[in-house]
Amino acid sequence: MAVENAFSLRNVVKEREKGGNRFELIVEEFEIGAGEFAAIIGASGCGKSTLLDMLGLALNPTRADTFTIRIPGRNIEYEIMGRSEPRLADIRKKHIGYVLQTGGLLPFLTVRENIFLPCAVNGMAGMEDHVDALVKRLKIDDQMPKKPQYLSGGQRQRAAIARALSHRPPIVLADEPTAAVDKPTAQEIIDNFKSLTREMGVTVLMVTHDLQLVEGTADRMFTFAVDKKSDQFTRSVCFEKRGGGEE
């Protein structure tokens, strides 16, 4: 049985201008199957965060031929172009989990409240068993009553992963989730993250600059070809990295 695509992008362009400098990101073809673990790798300024913003429905493309998100197993497909912000917010709320660089936990909530926040926003009750299992797997079950400020960097990232998965989203986007932790911890977090998402059948898109971290782990890898046309104009083209392809 063919795997459904969670993301399908074709000829998606995002143009940005800041301080007289123009940046153009082109995504000619971008597909991620449901349940796949995809990594977007690249150096600073190549456009990986811009791509993640678009995939995370936090930034609208300038133009696109195709930009659809399909919710695996639910026969729901969203055409993203032209949707209003409240509608995009609704898709984000229901179907996407986010793991941010330093966790992105709200400092005024406890770890428990942070983790349950997506469930609360979605009006989901009876998620306690699921969340308890998650936090045990992530080894933060004893940190639940604390405020995020009292957690170590690794614990914060694990709590962020728990929050991203608490409401069972079909898609999780992670932006450099291990940037703020040491290498062994980073590897442990990624392994944990991958095994958890695999078990839950979650499609994962992870941005990282650390190729080693995802090599051998990611099902797919995307990178960028950066072309500095002039001092004021940079064009970056995203493509899938297959079998040792160069950035």
Partner 1 sequence: MRRSSGSTIGGIVFKLSLKDLKHEWILTLCLIMAISAVLSPLLLLFGLKFGIIAWARDYLTQDPRYREIRPLTSKSFAPEWFEEMEQREDVAFIVPMTRQISATVKANVKGKTGSEQFNVIPTRPGDPLLLENGAAVPEPGECVLTKFAAEALGAAVGDVIEASAGRIVGSRYEYGTLEMRVAGILSLRASELKSVYVQLDILEAIEQYKDGQAVPELGWSGSTPKAYPLYDGLIIAMRAPLSKVEEYSLFNRTGFTKIETLDNAELKARAGFTVSSEMTVYRLYTQTKPAGEESIRNVENRLRGENAVIFPWIAPIGAELTDGAGNRISEIFLQGLSTAGKRPHAVGLSPAPDWKGADASDGMPLAVMLPEGIDVPDEEVFIRVAGEENLLTFPVSILPQRTDAEIAFVPERLAGILRLFGTRNIRYDETIGEFVLFRKGYAGFRLYARSIFDVDPLRRFFDAQALPVHTEINEIRKVIELDRGMTLIFWLLALVGIAGSVASLVASLYASVERKKREMSVLRLIGLSGPKLFRFPIYQGMLIGTGGFLASLVLFSIFSRMINSWFRPYVDKLLGFPMEAGVNFCRLPLLHMSIALMGTIAISALAAMIAAMRVTRIEPAEALRDE
β-strands 203-208, 66-71 pairing = unpaired
> What is the C-alpha separation between 112 and 127, in angstroms, rounded?
12
Residue 200: CB partners within 8 Å, gap ≥ 6?
Answer: 165, 168
In the numeric block, which tokens belong to residue 95?
Answer: 């179907």
> What is the C-alpha separation between 124 and 147, in angstroms, rounded?
23
Q: Which stretch binds partner 1 (CB under 8 A): 4-12, 48-56, 136-144, 182-190?
A: 48-56
Number of residues that bind partner 1 (CB under 8 A): 39
Of 19, 20, 123, 184, which one interacts with partner 1 (CB under 8 A)?
123
Closest contact distance (angstroms) between CB of 228 and partner 1 is 21
Contact flag: residue 244 with partner 1 (CB under 8 A): no
Contact flag: residue 226 with partner 1 (CB under 8 A): no
Contact flag: residue 247 with partner 1 (CB under 8 A): no
Of 19, 20, 107, 244, which one interacts with partner 1 (CB under 8 A)?
107
Q: Which stretch binds partner 1 (CB under 8 A): 22-30, 111-119, 150-158, 219-227?
A: 111-119
How many C-beta neighbours within 10 Å does residue 175 have?
A: 21
Contact flag: residue 237 with partner 1 (CB under 8 A): no
Closest contact distance (angstroms) between CB of 245 and partner 1 is 26
Of residues 76 and 89, the one with the C-beta less far from partner 1: 89
Residue 120: CB partners within 8 Å, gap ≥ 6?
Answer: none
Contact flag: residue 12 with partner 1 (CB under 8 A): no
Quick check: 148 and 111 in contact, CB under 8 A? yes
Q: Where are the beta strands (DSSP E) in the chain?
A: 5-18, 21-33, 37-41, 66-71, 76-79, 96-99, 171-175, 203-208, 220-228, 233-241
Q: Which amino acid type is present at position 140?
A: I
Of 3, 43, 81, 121, which one interacts with partner 1 (CB under 8 A)?
121
Of 32, 80, 100, 238, which one interacts with partner 1 (CB under 8 A)?
100
Candidates 130, 210, 125; CA nearest to 174 is 210
Contact flag: residue 122 with partner 1 (CB under 8 A): yes
Closest contact distance (angstroms) between CB of 111 and partner 1 is 11
Closest contact distance (angstroms) between CB of 237 and partner 1 is 21
> What is the C-alpha separation between 56 and 62, in angstroms, rounded?
15
Contact flag: residue 18 with partner 1 (CB under 8 A): no
Point out which residues bind partner 1 (CB under 8 A).
49, 52-53, 56-59, 85-86, 89-90, 92-94, 98, 100-102, 104, 106-109, 113-114, 116-125, 147, 175-176, 179
